[in-house]
Amino acid sequence: MAAYRIGVLKGDGIGPEVVPAAVDLADLSARAAGLSVEWVELPVGLEAYGQLGDTLPPQTVEALRGCHGWVLGPVEHHRYDPRLPSMRNPSGTLRRLFDLYANERPARNLPGVPSRYEGVDLVVVRENTEGFYADRNVLEGDAELLVTPDVVVSLRVVTRRACQRIAEYAFQLARRRARPGRVTAVHKANVLRRGDGLFLECCRSVASRYPDVAFDHVHVDAAAYFLVREPQRYDVLVTTNLFGDILSDQAAGLVGSLGVAPSLNAGDGYAMAQAVHGSAPDIAGRGVANPTAEILSVAMLFEWLGRRFDDPAATEAARRLEEAVGAALSAGVRTPDLGGSATTAEFARAVRAHLAPGSML
């Protein structure tokens, strides 16, 4: 590729602090790897609502169609009024509009980061477009029915197509990883017999086409138990939307903090880098947010671009960015969530020093 267009959506809360830090470092890494990137800043979230009357303006969506991928900061959608069509959750809406059906969330030990376990290197692959998510599984409305003031019925959608393709994504990922690959399907088919039963059936069907990748399955409650007891047993866990959201946060806690938990929302045509953590309004504006997760999320986006376009420069940019983050952490530069005292800017400068030796700190 001659050049990539990557959208930049800062989001709410700590987003305007961690996203610019991540983009600045990603741009430096890209240039060092010979990768040409045009970063396109676009309005989103509460700032966009204040200026344009929409948390996800139509011009932002249209501009994203001309991008190869984008970076989305955390959004404070709990503050949005769900009764207003102009206050959509940008994260869920973009996943649905661009069919970003796979949410890849790695959890691994990072150098210099205190954690309860060693040898953790797993990925939660979460189906991203349906399930118990009210903004993703019906054409209109929110899929939650207020039967009486005291009774709510929430609808879940599970389709064969979505189950098949998320299983395919998980097995392809397991095949790419350095260790002998293993996929574990996480479900509750003993209780949710039809929905999770269909999911498990699809995972078994896909597994039969990947004889080089080991396969097993486990109930979600047992998976949560074994994550706490022996997380090293897992490689790639593939699961439905809600289960994946919960288990990936749990896995982040095993390796230090949500502040080091990256993720990628990927489809066949687009991908969106988005850290696992939320907008953290309690620390917004204080300059102490950890940008690690956002930086590593952009590295995942570079990796995706490298695979999609067979571009070694994009892959190299991802490698450089990951190694620079690891070097900064190894040197003991840590933000308060990791027990350190570095500010967001100080951590970013430490990463920059490893990307561009000799640069000013």
- Has 245 been annotated as catalytic? yes
Per the CB < 8 A criterion, the answer to whether 312 and 306 are in contact is: yes
- Has 133 been annotated as catalytic? yes
Phi, psi of 236 (to 5 degrees): -115, 120
User: Which residue from 347, 341, 356, 332 is spatially nearest to 110, judged by alpha carbons?
Assistant: 332
Q: Identify the burial level of 146 via C-beta atoms within 10 angstroms of its C-beta, where 0-12 means exposed, 13-18 middle and 19 or more buried.
A: exposed
- Has 10 been annotated as catalytic? no
How remote is the C-alpha of 317 from its chain's centroid?
A: 19
Q: Looking at 133, 169, 210, 270, which residue is catalytic? A: 133
User: Which residue from 81, 62, 78, 82 is spatially nearest to 70, judged by alpha carbons?
Assistant: 62
- Has 337 been annotated as catalytic? no
* Residues 234, 124: Cα–Cα separation, whole Å: 9
- Specify the 3-state DSSP secondary structure of 303: helix
Q: Looking at 216, 221, 268, 310, which residue is catalytic? A: 221
- Has 235 been annotated as catalytic? no
Q: Looking at 49, 188, 196, 234, which residue is catalytic? A: 188
Q: Alpha-carbon torsion 232, 129, 302, 352, what sign? A: negative
Q: Identify the burial level of 81 via C-beta atoms within 10 angstroms of its C-beta, where 0-12 means exposed, 13-18 middle and 19 or more buried.
A: exposed
Q: Looking at 24, 99, 135, 249, which residue is catalytic? A: 249
Per the CB < 8 A criterion, the answer to whether 321 and 354 are in contact is: no
Q: Looking at 54, 196, 245, 337, which residue is catalytic? A: 245
Q: What are the residue numbers of the active site?
A: 133, 188, 221, 245, 249
